[in-house]
């Protein structure tokens, strides 16, 4: 792995911690803006790196709130990693809006389904509205950042080639 990728990976972890401090009101305090950096990394660099940042980013977010769901956060981290991998794969295929919708549905509606069986239906009903809002914010932030960054980066490269 190149030093450039290591730096982006470290920045992804750092921005995940910062995003983890920005909470979405929910019955569980780990719904936050912690996945946006992983979506950005999956969009711009490596899908695998984005998935890794999503997993670790969620665990860091849960750590900041005291792991309210205990070991179930490992399941959530894995689910977030898979959602980011799917998002990154679709994004790299040029289907950025499909990627955003699939991530939003996967993270907000599909990922909490196991908790119907692990906890109860009431938990599912209570957590989904916060996940819908949080997932939408995360994916919108990521799409806007990537769009602006790519335009600015292209301008800098163009200016430097003169």
| Contacts by 46-49, CB closer than 8 A, 24 or more apart | 46/5, 46/88, 47/84, 47/85, 47/88, 47/89, 47/92, 48/85, 49/5, 49/8, 49/9, 49/12
What global pTM score does this model have? 0.91
List, for residues 80-119, the tens digit of each pLDDT value: 999 999 999 999 999 999 999 999 999 999 999 999 999 9
pLDDT-derived band at 32, boundaries 50, 70, 90? confident
Q: Quick one: tokens of 149?
A: 């960054």
- Counting the structural domains of the chain, the total is 1
70: domain range? 3-160
Q: For residue 53, is pLDDT > 80? A: yes
User: 156 Cβ partners below 8 Å, 6+ apart?
Assistant: none
Q: Are 76 and 69 in contact (CB under 8 A)?
A: yes
Q: What is the CATH number of the domain that holds 127?
A: 1.10.1760.20
List, for residues 108-155, the tens digit of each pLDDT value: 999 999 999 999 999 999 999 999 999 999 999 999 999 999 888 777
């Amino acid at each position: 792995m190149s030093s450039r990728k290591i730096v982006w990976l470290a920045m992804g972890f750092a921005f995940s911690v910062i995003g983890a401090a920005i909470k979405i009101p929910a019955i569980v305090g780990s719904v936050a803006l912690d996945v946006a950096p992983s979506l950005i990394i999956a969009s711009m660099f490596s899908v695998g790196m984005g998935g890794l940042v999503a997993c670790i980013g969620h665990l860091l977010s849960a750590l900041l709130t005291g792991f309210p769901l205990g070991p179930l956060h490992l399941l959530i981290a894995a689910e977030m990693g898979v959602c980011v991998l799917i998002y990154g794969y679709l994004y790299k295929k040029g289907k950025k809006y499909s990627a955003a919708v699939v991530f939003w549905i996967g993270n907000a509606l599909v990922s909490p389904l196991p908790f119907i069986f692990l906890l109860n239906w009431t938990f599912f009903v209570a957590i989904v509205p916060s996940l819908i809002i949080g997932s939408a914010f995360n994916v919108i932030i990521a799409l806007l950042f990537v769009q602006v960054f790519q335009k600015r980066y292209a301008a800098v490269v163009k200016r430097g080639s003169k």
